[in-house]
Amino acid sequence: MLSKRRFIIFVSDTVLIGVALLLAFLLRYDFSIPQDQRALFWECLLVVLIFKPMVFAMTGFYNSLWRYASVQDALQIVKGVFLSSFVVIAAVFFLQQFTPLPRSIFALDSILLFIMLASSRLVWRVCRETYIVSKNVSGPLTLIVGAGEAGSLLLKEIRRQSGASYRVIGYVDDDPEKKGMKLHGIPVLGGVKQLNKLILTNEVEEVIIAMPSADGKTIKDIINSCKNADVIFKTLPGISDLIDGTLTISQIKKVQIEDLLGREPVDLDRDLIGAFLTGKRVLVSGAAGSIGSEICRQVALFKPAKLILLDQAETPLYEIEKELVNRFPEIRMLALMADVRDRENILQLFDEFTPEVVFHAAAYKHVPMMEYNPTQAVLNNVFGSRNIADAAHQSKVSNMVMISTDKAVNPTNVMGATKRSAEIYIQALSRNSSTRFTTVRFGNVLGSNGSVIPLFKQQIAAGGPVTVTDKRVIRYFMTIPEATQLVLEAGCLGKGCEIMVLDMGEPVRIIDLAEELIRLSGFTPYEDIDIVITGLRPGEKLYEELLIEGEGVMPTSHDKIKVMAPVHTDLTCVCDEFERLYEAARSNKVHELMESLKRLVPEFNPTYSFNGSAPLTFQRVRPDLFPAPAYGSAKVVLLRKS
């Protein structure tokens, strides 16, 4: 109330309170207040001028911004008006010195005051938006695709911004009931199939796609129409970013490859996840990685008692800690520099900080890199996971969730075999532990470290060529937020020793992804930017799988999460083989390491074989781009798969 703006509004409302009462008397007495009622009017006026402004101030009347006046503000006015009228009526009857007032006076006063207060709050917004719309006539002619909630929010925000650079002339929407209708005074001109014609007819310069939940095919059709008409096209953020009903002009962005996937928003059971995480001590290993850092962001939304970030990468760990501290200052954060391979240190950290929920995301995941360095893949992915699982078991952690990969299914590479080995150990351990262990298996995530998308973007920025290993290669993709949200949900659903598989949707051809990304960058594939086929890399498959033979699929309460029937494995046998595997990895005996992995993972079928006398050879389309991996002193023959 001390600000100048609020004081002016307060005085204005006080004047309207008096005017409303005067009009109520005039209407009641046919615009001629009797002489004997005039003293009563002045006495009532004194009461309402004392009590009503006081009630308005106490109910938060002056905390809203006129420029954003909405239905919620109208409801606030209704509550304030009728509450203040009730207080005035009580005061009048309590004082008992007035001549009895006609009951219609109170009804008329309340109705008139509501109309006047609501009108006063809308006048400024209407005048301001009208002024801005007329002022921005020089902006580019713009069409909004999508006359729904997102399109409505977008137009409102454009009109609110004094520096808005869009002159919206129409909407495009496929709903036949909307055609010819108007949204905030802007007409719906037609459907998406007519977009090209509408752009040319109306000389449109920009198109904004306001369809956050549209499928990839619809987005592609819109983009193709925009490209054919040679106009700029942009889009809004995903539906999860609009969930609070707010939107800013700065959120309008260029169409990204993620938008073409058309992934539907994840429907989370927030109450279930809240019971799982809220008020708990949560530890995330690999917290500085692409998946681990997003898990930290998602976990922080549920207000854990403490969030422990564990990683060995100093600078990325510093960056994610700084980000989370700024975004969630109320949550206790602890950044721990530690290597999951250091067993004694991991056990000590768990004993000291006693986490209740653990997300294990620390792993080496670059397939070709792990083919070159199999011992490090084993030490980190297998024994790092074992160390975290053992620490969780000994510390009696309530829940542990391990992040796995579709490459663990019928693996043809070291990375996949190591992740499958970790799955086997955790499933075997869970049968003798009070800790509920859950493994979550999913495919590629767009934008993660090592993902094909950042590589393609770098190659396009350098002028090409874009390298694709094989025209037939297909992969499952999902976005990082979607994957991590489903990981949280899967962690809640796990009862112990399950492997959860996320619904990855339809697979995507990598070459199609490369072509779309080139187009989105404003170039033409094979003309401006060439695409070169390099041949499959070491350990790479044409396609990935999500199930191993013998793993039955069962549904869960979430339609995007399936649970695999557990494969029973004896822990003692696994531990015995782990000892042989550990010794081979520590001694850099690659041949023995590979044989041990095959015994642990019978379905492991590497794309190379060992021959004691044969020289190291590697058959490729472009051997100059990818040299053959050197496995220590071992002699390896790499056999290119058809």
Catalytic positions, please? 407
Q: What share of the chain is helix, strand, coil (3-state, %, to 5)?
A: 50, 15, 35
Structure tokens at 194: 């007519």
Q: Which of 18, 108, 9, 107 is nearest to 60 (CA)?
A: 9
Integer-rounded Cα radius of gyration of the chain:
33
> CA angle at residue 292 from 317 to 428, to 5 degrees?
125
What token pair was written down for 28? 């009641």
Report the DSSP beta bridge partners of residue 532.
467
Give the separation between CA 566 and CA 497, rounded to whole angstroms: 7
DSSP β-bridge partners for residue 188: 171
Confirm if 308 and 355 have CB atoms less than 8 A apart: yes
Q: What DSSP line would sit under 395-423, residue for residue? A: TT-SEEEEEEEGGGSS--SHHHHHHHHHH
CA distance linking residue 372 with residue 113, whole number of Å: 78
Dist. CA 400–CA 139, nearest whole Å: 54
Tokens of 83: 């509450």
Kindly list the distances between the CA atom of residue 138 and the CA atoms of 164, 168, 229, 291, in Å, as whole numbers in the listed order.
11, 11, 21, 44
DSSP letter at 64 equals: S
Long-range CB pairs of 524-531 (<8 Å, 24+ gap) are 528/464, 529/459, 529/460, 529/463, 529/464, 529/465, 529/466, 530/464, 530/465, 530/466, 531/464, 531/465, 531/466, 531/467, 531/468
Name the strands in the sheet holding 636-638, side by side, starting at the edge strand that comes first in the sequence. Answer: 608-610, 636-638, 617-618
In this structure, are strands 561-564 and 553-555 parallel, antiparallel, or unpaired? antiparallel
Q: Which amino acid, 83? A: L
Residues 6 or more apart whose CB falls under 8 angstroms from that of 609 comprise 636, 637, 639
Burial 292-325 (b: 16+ CB within 10 A, else e): bbbbbbbbbbbebebbbbbbbeeebbeebbeebe
CA distance 528 to 462: 12
What letters, b where the CB count within 10 A reaches 16 and e where it falls short, cover 26-57? eebeeeeeeeebeebbeebeebbeebbbebbe
